[in-house]
Amino acid sequence: MPRRNHAALLGLAAALTLAGCSSTASNEATMDGAGSDEIQLVSEGTLTLCANPPYEPFTYEEDGEVVGLEVDIVREVAMDLGVELATVSTPFEGLESGQDLETRKCDVVASGITITDEREERLDFADPHFDADQGLLTAAGADLTSAEDLKGLTVGVQQATTGEDWATEEGLTTRQYEDLGLQVEALRAGVVDAIVNDIAVLGPYADGDLEVAATFPTGEQYGIGVRTGNTALLEAVNGTLERIREDGTYATIYEQYIGTAPAE
């Protein structure tokens, strides 16, 4: 991670640079310059976030608005830059592949995106902001608690996720779904015997009929992604992450959505 003072200064410098942009045309002129020292946004005056709800508590819809832990973090980035925040809902594959960034659909992507070597070849990640493991959601009383228990059964996975990778590596029979909501619907309908996804997002669905049956430690970490080469924006995101950790904002956001204080 960058030193805190250095990251904060870079974030401030990036914000001042953005404030100096006088037109959308000048903003677009720098959008293709890898390593530019200017903030590169797809829409002047707006930081656009691509997300894949439902992925509670990180990105989900409430009263017609996309909210969540990661939305609040990105909102802090927008505040530090002096711009508005806009959100765009899009399939997860477009987030983790970097496609949404390359096609200028948005400036940043976040929806529980685990940082992996493969993904780092397609987009640049800010410093990790959340530790995660895989989890198992089953019908209550199904008595499925291990990968071995799932052999010969059908497991619902979200496409292009590390949960799908884990299930494949375990040799499980899987059925792909575009998002977490469709996974849960398939489990309730009996189309699949269990679903695998990040443990932090399964809790809201444990309602008596369904239960979180197991956690599979994987040591994953989430990151906010930006387009490869958008160095100034990456530094600005890291600067905000350092600030909110120092001033307590991150702890407040974490407790609001997770229900406990973040680990030291």
Cα 232 to Cα 18: distance, rounded to the nearest angstrom = 10
Domains of the chain: 4-129+223-258 (3.40.190.10), 133-219 (3.40.190.10)
What's residue 7's pLDDT? 42
Q: Which residues of the chain have pLDDT under 70?
A: 1-36
Residue 164: predicted pLDDT: 98
Alpha helices for 125-248 (secondary structure H): 162-169, 180-189, 231-247
pLDDT in tens, 230-257: 999 999 999 999 999 999 999 999 999 9
CA triplet 142, 144, 147: central angle to 5 degrees? 160
Q: What is the pTM of this model?
A: 0.84
For residue 169, count other CB atoms closer than 10 A to its CB.
Answer: 9
Q: With contact defined as beta carbons under 8 Å apart, do 92 and 158 qualify?
A: yes
130 touches 57 (CB < 8 A): no
Q: Residue 35, by phi and psi: left (phi above 0), alpha (psi -120 to 50) or beta?
A: left
> Could you read off the pLDDT of 79-93 as tens digits, one per residue?
999 999 999 999 999
Residue 264: what pLDDT? 73
**The pLDDT value given to residue 36:** 56
pLDDT of residue 1: 39
231-247 vs 4-19: helix crossing angle, rounded to 10: 120
